[in-house]
Structure 1
Amino acid sequence: MLPNPTVPPTLLRLLNHFWPCFTRPTFTVFAALVTGLIAHTGTRTVCGMLTGAGLARAWPHDRAHAFFAQRRWNPDRLGQTAARLVVQTCTAPGEALTLAVDDTLVKRSGSTVFARSRQHDGAAPGPAKLGWGVCFVVTALAVRVRGRDRALALPTLARCWRPAPAPAPRLSACARTACALEHARHRHDQAHRGLRMRLEAEAALPRGHRLPGTDPKPALHRRLTESQHALARARADHDTALEQVLEPAGAGTPHPTKTETAIALGARQARLFGDRMIHVVADAAYHSPALRALPPNMTWTFRLMSSAVLSAPAPPARPGTPTRPGRPAISGARLGTPDRIARRAAFTPTRVPGRSIAAIECRWARSLGRTPVRLVLVRQDAGTRPYDLALLTTDTTSPAEQVVERYADRWPIETCFQDARAHLGLEQARNRTRAAVERTVPLQLLTYSLVVLWYHHHGNAAADVDARRCAHPWYGSKTAPAFADMLAALRREIIDHRISARVDDLRVVRLIREIVHDWLAIAA
């Protein structure tokens, strides 16, 4: 059991939601390490978490290391539980969810660290954006918490990603099953359309008449049944491929791409919230043929590269014209690159002065096949470029301005990574084994979400902002608490709990609090 002063009751009530994910002894270690990670102001190694919990002299450090390297618990279950908490706490019933997707390189040193390699690092200085470390693909729910007008990205699921040791094939297993599912859907739609046209034509005939030739209805029914079976098989194969993406890659197993990993993580949360629409927003690197088979309640929006060539939708067949032999057209006339489209597009003013927007229905046949997509272009009226931002989205029903506002909520995941590095020691762990590496970073990102959720319930945004502006007069325009303010408030709660649990005299407690808070401000 934990010593009484270790975890304050307000934080323990939040951590109790994760009780089903652990055994009783493992949950005790989980609660202690999360509290230590929040309270510690030094290096946030595993031993640093134990020190921050005040258990360095009560527990052997092997107990903390074994929690990451040996104990049985799944970080995905923690992420799904955190996602439920975020949705229940920060969103209205039935509200659509915005899921930000990105990857981050956690810098690690040592040749024996699992999955460490030289990979792309967008935050690296200089033109060569490369660094040594372990890459994690992260999904985060963009929500607005109490006291803030702008969104915060609360991490939910994170998965360690390794680059393929050999050149990857043109289409991976997940992309192939997505293309097969797309073809199966198209064939099913064709069979259903053919049967409906036959029934409509027969219904239009006078009583006692029928269409010339043999009766094709049995053949059409048989074709529709076969297409339904083929569609069910293709959907099952694609679901299996998505689950295999999240399974540990062994020897000879093809490594999934970052986009496929993000799709698998997003699809898992789409099943978790089947009654809500999930709008995924990602940067320009997250596009793949695997996007052709998204779940029905999930859309995908990403920044389009300037070299992409788009086409118009395929024109509908004219009624009464004979069916042409061969496969029907995927797309229509060539529209060109976003630059060429923007020069001919009709822009309309937005609610933001000085900005205009245009939306064009199109297809990206080379990557997304016949998937209906929409190109959203944004430009500054005073600028000289044809456009400043090009977004491609599978959401063809929402207003264009809403798509842009939704994409703007992707940026908080970048600040989440920065805050996790600066305040939660995202790159300071020293473990090397596979289980420890794959669990430590998700737990630290989960702690970020827990701090924000705790502050949403128990924080005082106005008082914290006033205190920061009083202590730092140069923050005159500060109106909302930052993550550092939320973390400081929770640290004060932990310290107050530890002091009040040991000292009975309120005057002494108040004096100790003032002294400790001053030392905490110096240490931070």
Structure 2
Amino acid sequence: MLQFETLPPSFATLLQTLGPCFTAPTFRTFAVLVAGMIAQPGRHTVTGMLTAAGLAGVWHHAKAHWFFSRARWCADALGMAVLAVIVEQLLPADAAMLIAVDDTLFRRSGRKVYATGWWHDGAATSKRRDATGWGNRWVIAAVVLWLPFTDRPVALPVAFALCTKTGPTPQVLAGRLVTRIAAAYPHRQIDVVADAWYASAAGPAGATVGKTRQRAFPPGVTLTSRLRANACLNAIAQPIPGARGRPRRIGTRLGKPADLAATATFTPTTVRRYGRTDTIHIAQITRLWYGAYRSQAIRVILIRDPDSKTSTGYDLALVTTDLTSHPEHIVARYAARWSIEVMIEDAKQTTGVGQARNRTPPPSPAPSPSD
């Protein structure tokens, strides 16, 4: 039978740093389940973790299920404790924190499973662009690190939010996760990277309607994402001396990214990305994306390979709220976003995340005495 005292000292020490998130009995259950998950060569179900830990027939399986459904611990607090370990041990004191945001679908069956619905499944094997699946959709925020023993960036997840059909949108949930991380480290520069789905997540509330109006990014946090091909861009309005009335909020309509590429000046630049050094052509333009960011200036970075034959004039268009960093740094930063895609695939295929199906609704808050 697996005992906490028999775990490798380095692993036991790492688990001990997370001990304040649990009560003493709950922490022992947590440590055993984590060790069993790592040792399990088969499916990583709750009973599978107990079997790998040598506790099948010793502990009743209800004890492990109780840990997930009824025990008093908070996943948000646990994620922030993991983040603290990452920042203290793996991130230099003067380095900016790079956060990758994405979402994924854990397929489920059954109409009564909590918070399930039909969602877009980016990992679907179907060739249809609108491939969907029934299950739970999670928004994930991960810290991206460059470790000395790897040749590519690594994403370590630290915050999660469950999407529901009646709750906040993924863009709103992403903003809340980033806000939580920024609140824990207010004096550290935080840069966020995400795919095109979250391109407007840092925009003001007045730039959208419905539940997405709740979105918000903390001041000073930058967002870099892929610019949508149909985004309508405008010049920054220039004040006219002596003109009467309210100044214009937007300038001349410039069109879509393809229209910018037709008149942009591209410069050869060397960029380190995807584990190799490439020479690409880059054009950067500071403009307005009024539909997403209103009068807040954003920077558009157009990327084109030297031997590209694209008909749009560019191969990739990025949008960023970072107006000061060098464009090659922005390109490398966005390329590091791919690490969260690798992390999600590894978590599902190797670690077995999602195979333990015991999600329950969070308990309702107790009524106050005045109610």
The equivalent residue for 1:85 is 85
Contact 1:108 1:427 in 2 (8 A): no
State the Cα distance separating 1:2 from its structure 2 match: 7.3
CA distance in 1, matches of 2:294, 2:4: 60
> AA paired with 1:285?
W
Aligned residue runs from structure 1 range 274-353, under 5 A: 274-288=186-200, 291-292=203-204, 294-318=217-241, 321=242, 324-326=244-246, 328-352=247-271, 353=278
Q: How does 1:186-197 map to 2 (within 5 A)?
A: none
Q: Distance in 1 between matches of 2:202 and 2:192?
A: 14
The TM-score, its normalising length taken from structure 2, stands at: 0.88
Within the alignment, does 1:163 sit opposite 2:165 as a pair?
yes
**8 Å contact kept, 1:283–1:303:** yes
Deviation, structure 1 residue 263: 0.7
Does residue 1:363 correspond to 2:275, yes or no? Answer: no
CA distance in 2, matches of 1:32, 1:157: 22
Asked if 2 retains the 8 angstrom alpha-carbon contact of 1:284 and 1:304, the reply is yes
Contact kept? 1:70, 1:435, Cα under 8 Å: no
Distance change in 2, residues 1:317/1:6 (3 Å):
farther
**Larger fraction in strand:** 2
Q: TM-score, normalised by structure 1?
A: 0.63
2:302 to 374, 377, 383: 377
Percent same amino acid at aligned positions? 43
Superposition deviation, residue 134 in structure 1? 0.4
1:383 Cα shift? 1.2
Structure 2 counterparts to residues 54-203 of structure 1, below 5 A:
54-126=54-126, 127=128, 128-164=130-166
Separation of aligned partners in 2, 1:359 and 1:25 = 56
Report the CA distance between 1:88 and its aligned residue. Answer: 1.6
What is the CA deviation profile of residues 44-99 of structure 1, one whole-angstrom value per residue up to 9, with x for unaligned ones?
A: 00111111222223211111000000001110001111111111222111211110
Q: Summarize deviations over 1:201-229 as a string: whole Å, max 9, x none.
A: xxxxxxxxxxxxxxxxxxxxxxxxxxxxx
Q: Give aligned pairs, total.
A: 342
Relative contact order higher in (CA < 8 Å, ≥ 6 apart): 1
* Higher Rg: 1
Structure 1 unaligned spans of 5+: 165-254, 437-524
Give the Cα–Cα distance (whole angstroms) in 1 for the partners of residues 4 and 105 of structure 2. 38
- 3-state SS, counterpart of residue 252 of structure 2: strand
Q: Are 2:184 and 1:265 equivalent residues in the alignment?
A: no
Residues 142-151 or 411-420, more deviating: 142-151
Report what 2:316 is aligned to.
389
1:288 Cα shift? 3.7
Q: Which has the higher helix share?
A: 1
Structure 1 segments of 4+ aligned residues over 2 angstroms from their partners? 1-8, 287-294, 430-436
CA contact (8 A) 2:287 2:300 kept: yes
Give the deviation of 1:7 after TM superposition.
2.5
Instruction: Determine helix, strand or coil for the equivalent of 1:291.
Output: coil
SS in 2 for 1:349: strand
